[in-house]
Chain A
Amino acid sequence: MQKDVILNGRIWLITNDKGELINDIDTDMIFHNQYLTITDLDEMGQYTFDNLEGWKDFADKALKDDIIVVGDNFGAGSSRQQAVDCFKSLAVQAIIAKSFGAIYKRNAINSGLPILVLDSIDLNNIENREMVEFDLENGETDHNAINIEPFSKVQMDIYQAGNLFAYGKNIK
């Protein structure tokens, strides 16, 4: 069965006190190393962003299918998978960033969590909790203040298969 390539969700603009999207959110801010021994997906969500100034209560605020929007170099730092899985645990639907840390990008793509690169955003004309529709295949949105780049081929293939393991079985 093909997965839907259109995502609909309420967005969280992860901004600082100046109203700018936060850059360089590293894996310790997303999922601090003191929780690294947690391997159970259900338990991870509650610690999401609990070391990110201004967003420590994110886990309480996040709702199913939310989409988060962040700045440059999201997920810089360590290779921990929990920094991806904690969003799955919260049922966050997708992450949109200006750019991603290289390992973070791999981890997210391999686990089938949609991550998208922001093409442009006009923060004066978009607000938190607005409902936005994103097309993973062609990068189109239904909001003129936000634009994204479409999925790459490998990313779409892995997303459709479910994860890297499922995809890997097909290509052998």
Chain B
Amino acid sequence: MGKTIIEKILQNHSEQKVEPGKIVWIDIDIRTARDFGGPNVVKNLEKYYPDTEIPDKSNAFFTFDTVVPAKTIPYANSQQICRDFAKKHGLKVYDVNAGIGTHILMEKGFALPGKTLVGTDSHFNILGAVGAFGQGMGDQDIAFAFITGRNWFEVPETIKINLKGTFSYPTTGKDLVLYILRKIGSKGVLGKSVEYYGECLKDFSFSEVVTLSSMTTEMGGIIAYPHPNENVKDWLKEHTGETPEFIYADEDAKYLDEMEIDVSNLKPQIAAPPKPDNVFDVEKLKGQKVDSVFVGSCTNGRIEDMRLVADIIKGKKIADDVMLRVVPTTSEVYGQMLSEGLIKVLYNAGAVVSNPGCGGCANGQIGMTGKGEVQISTGNRNFTGKQGYGDTYLASPVTAARAALKGSL
């Protein structure tokens, strides 16, 4: 019988027969830990595997992205625990200048089609964008994977989502993923793998594919595989020098469910607080006052996102009483922004631009929201209290940039 993408990837990494619902042991190609979770990974390694060499060192490392550079002493201590451990064991650290770990894995060619990767980050499923299997895990899981190079997985069932129709600017990939959340909710694909097909995916930029993959977490899913387009293939080729070999589902693969979502002429979408699936047409919230705008995160902080924002605000000033905060995903994106003159555009418009990382999403590295503050964020979560006590709305970079200029939706 045919297999879905996730089943094939897992089968290639397991000696057991892979079937949905079954728990199997999987070999893990790349093991990582962030500054968040990392110190506990180290603690577990030191407690349960004292004086044990880390095997396959070139495929185990730390990526610092959560709070970079450390803004408090406890964070600084946490990072130093990881650095000291890495040094002792000869492991690489992508330090506070690098950017978000999952994106580093893609840019450096670690995350390739068919590979298995784990890290202490619940958005590891972003790696579905490049056809890899990424799984976010807690620190015991990761410590175990660092030492053994394997872990157990319950093979997920796969849901096929067919996207019908096309849409165009100002509607983007972010609006699509918000719309899917609106349709299927925060538990829409709970514990499942997803495969996306449809004409609208053909023109998606690399960033849009990443956006679509990344918000699988908000739907409760394990991972999502958007059918790869030329932009993704080109991006990978540019970064690795090789033509990527994607894994495709068999014709007779067995899906748990097949859904069709009509996205013809989709309009810009926005998730109102307090949950990512509380989604409306932006139009419906027209006039809503906005105090601050954040552009960034692992979901929408790549160069294509920055270009969209810069195009809109070029030569203009953001509204007087609005703060615009911009955080590129990685150092590579930051460099591209510099050379393309985008940082100047943002600066002239009155924005704050910070170093790459999770700032703006995790723990308010570039500022928290105060009670009553209304924030438009290009991130992936708007849970109460996550970025402060203000109200966070999730939207595309286009909607965010427009709101920054206007001071309202």
Please state if B122 and A73 are interface contacts (CB–CB under 8 Å): no
Interface bits A1-31 vs B (CB < 8 Å: 1, else 0): 0000000000000000000000010101100
- Residue numbers of A with Cβ under 8 A of B are 24, 26, 28-29, 32-34, 36-37, 39, 51, 72-73, 76-81, 84, 99, 101-103, 106-107, 110-111, 152-154, 163-165, 168, 172
CA distance A48 to B37 in the complex (A): 18
A28 with B385, Cβ < 8 A, contacts A37-B74, A77-B122, A103-B137 known: yes
Cβ of A165 and Cβ of B140 under 8 Å apart? yes
17 contacts across the A-B interface (CB closer than 8 A): A24-B187, A28-B384, A28-B386, A37-B75, A72-B187, A79-B136, A79-B138, A84-B138, A103-B137, A107-B137, A110-B140, A110-B141, A111-B138, A163-B140, A164-B140, A165-B48, A168-B148
Task: Name the A residues within 8 Å of B191 (CB-CB).
Answer: 99, 102
How many residues of chain B are within 8 Å of chain A by beta carbon? 43
State whether the Cβ of B338 lies closer than 8 Å to any Cβ in chain A: no
Asked if B144 is at the interface of the complex by the 8 Å CB criterion, the answer is: yes
Q: How far is the CB of A60 from chain B (nearest CB, A)?
A: 20
B362 to A33, Cβ gap below 8 A?
Answer: yes
Contact A99 B190 (CB under 8 A): yes
C-alpha gap A102/B138 in the complex (Å): 11
Task: Pick from A77, A79, A99, A153 the residue with the most CB of B within 10 Å.
Answer: A79
A-binding residues in B (CB < 8 A): 23, 36-37, 39-40, 43-44, 48-49, 72, 74-75, 77-78, 120-122, 136-141, 143-144, 148, 152, 154, 186-187, 190-191, 220-222, 275, 362-363, 381, 383-386
Known: A28-B385, A164-B144. A103 touches B122 (CB 8 A): yes
Max chain B C-beta neighbours (<10 A), residue from A34, A36, A72, A107:
A36
A107 CA to B136 CA, complexed, in Å: 11
Chain A residues with CB below 8 A from B36, complex form: 36, 80
Shortest Cβ gap from A166 to chain B (Å): 8
Q: A102 and B220: CB pair below 8 A?
A: yes
Our count of residue pairs bridging A and B at CB distance below 8 angstroms stands at 99
Contact call B383/A29, Cβ cutoff below 8 A = yes
**Are B37 and A80 in touch, CB under 8 angstroms?**
yes
Given A99-B190, A101-B220, A153-B23, A33 contacting B140 (CB threshold 8 A) = no
Query: Which residues of chain A have C-beta atoms less than 8 A from B386's C-beta?
Result: 28, 33
Kindly report which residue of chain B lies nearest to residue A36, judged by CB atoms.
B36
* Nearest CB in chain A: distance from B139 CB, A: 5
Given A102-B190, A103-B137, A111-B138, 14 new contacts (CB under 8 A): A24-B187, A51-B384, A76-B220, A79-B122, A79-B137, A84-B138, A99-B190, A102-B220, A102-B222, A106-B137, A107-B138, A107-B141, A163-B140, A165-B144
Residues of B within 8 A of A76 (CB): 186, 220
Question: How many angstroms from the CA of A56 to the CA of B134 in the assembled complex?
Answer: 34
Complex Cα–Cα for A101 and B186 (A)? 10
**Closest 8 pairs (CB-CB, A-B):** A37-B74, A107-B138, A81-B138, A165-B48, A79-B122, A79-B136, A154-B23, A110-B140
B138 touches A24 (CB 8 A): no
B220 touches A168 (CB 8 A): no
A36 to B78, CA, bound (A): 10
Nearest chain A CB to B6 CB, angstrom units: 13
Whether the pair A73, B187 counts as a contact (CB closer than 8 A) is: yes
Bound-complex Cα distance A25 to B140 (A):
22
Chain B residues with CB under 8 Å of A154's CB are 23, 152
Given contacts A34-B363, A102-B222, contact A77 B383 (CB under 8 A): yes
- Chain B residues with CB under 8 A of A107: 137-138, 140-141
Closest to B66 in A: A36
| CB closest residue in chain A, given B36 | A36
Chain A neighbourhood of B72, CB < 8 A: 37
